[in-house]
Amino acid sequence: MTILAFIWCAPSRRLVEEDLWKQLLLVDSSVTNTPGRHPQLGDVQQHIKTFEAQMYLASDTEIDGDGKRIKFFTYGARAFAEVGKVQILTFMCKLIHNRPPSAEMLHELAIEMRNERE
């Protein structure tokens, strides 16, 4: 759920892989992007691959101006089908602000979702 919240905060809801690892490191300094076991979480890199395989996360790779490959994470189909945008927003607001989303935030989300359907 934390990764989904990070994607929520990313521009255009696309999170660069490098930024994902930086944000995870801010949450827990013992998280690394190299294979290995985290004391509580296990192999975080493998968990992310599993979330992709299970379609909670989707990824795409692009080439930047310097010819470097950049991987982006977005929401997978199951993230919306099983979790939903309102739940992701609620989790994020409680995590960051220690309260549920405001009516204004929920209204903005409703508009965004309506525009996506059109």
* Phi (first) and psi of residue 35, to 5 degrees: -60, 135
Q: What pLDDT score was predicted for residue 107? A: 92
pTM exceeding 0.85 = no
Instruction: Give the count of domains, the chain.
Output: 2
User: Do the beta carbons of residue 58 and residue 74 sit within 8 Å?
Assistant: yes
CA torsion through residues 8, 10, 14, 16, sign: negative
**Do 6 and 51 fall into the same domain?**
yes
Q: How confident is the model at residue 40 (pLDDT cuts 50, 70, 90)?
A: low
User: CA-CA distance, 17 to 48, in Å (whole number)?
Assistant: 11
Adjacency order of strands within the sheet including 15-16: 15-16, 69-75, 57-63
- Give pLDDT, residue 57: 96
CATH of the domain at 33: 1.10.10
> Is the same domain home to 75 and 99?
no
74 plus 34 within the same structural domain: yes
